[in-house]
Structure 1
Amino acid sequence: MAAKEMKSYSLTEMKDKYIGKVGTTERDEYEYELRMDILGRMIKSARQERNLTQEQLGRLVGVQKSQISKLESSTNSATIDTIMKVFKALKAEIHFNVTLEDQYLKLI
């Protein structure tokens, strides 16, 4: 008896099958949460590199410690303004890249 060949799937195929195709509400929410998770980890890492507590960073930004905690754990959706203030307080550069059809826009 021949061994049964196992089919492998790409990450995109798995997300399409179990989360939803690109453009569906479920997939959009998943991708947004994933980006917020990565952003939260970057904020935490930068804060720790600067040897700041969440409370100290909150004071620099003008928000409560709990807001910083929520940003780092991705439990809330922060405004771009708040995120910009956090990275400014961390003395970190932010680069936004946007592609609109054939145009590439970059905000530094």
Structure 2
Amino acid sequence: MSDVSPTGSISPENYKAYRKDFAKSADLMQKSLEMYNKTSEYNKKEQLKKTMNEAMTIMNQIVKVALKKNEQSMEKKLVKDYDTYINSANAKNYKAVRADLDDLQDSVKS
């Protein structure tokens, strides 16, 4: 499969850079999610939530220009599962977000 941008409007170099930035944001999101899940300290949770929200914002911007259709669908599922987790932080919702992040990271790296 070639690295052709879904929109065809960005150069291959920029396309690769966008995908690299997406992977970095997804990694930051994953690390913050793990720490968020482990801490019970309110202020730390709020800071981690802010970090995760910022990472999601960057990922949402990149998804529009540099992700393939199947990755766009995966990212939409991540957004939905993340919102569910933030509203109801439990093991099931945490695992769903982790699985979404893992799937997206694997896809973007390939």
TM-score normalised to structure 1 length: 0.38
Higher CA-based Rg: 1
Higher RCO by CA contacts (8 Å cutoff, separation 6 or greater): 2
TM-score normalised to structure 2 length: 0.38
Structure showing the higher helix proportion among its residues:
2
Structure showing the higher strand proportion among its residues:
1
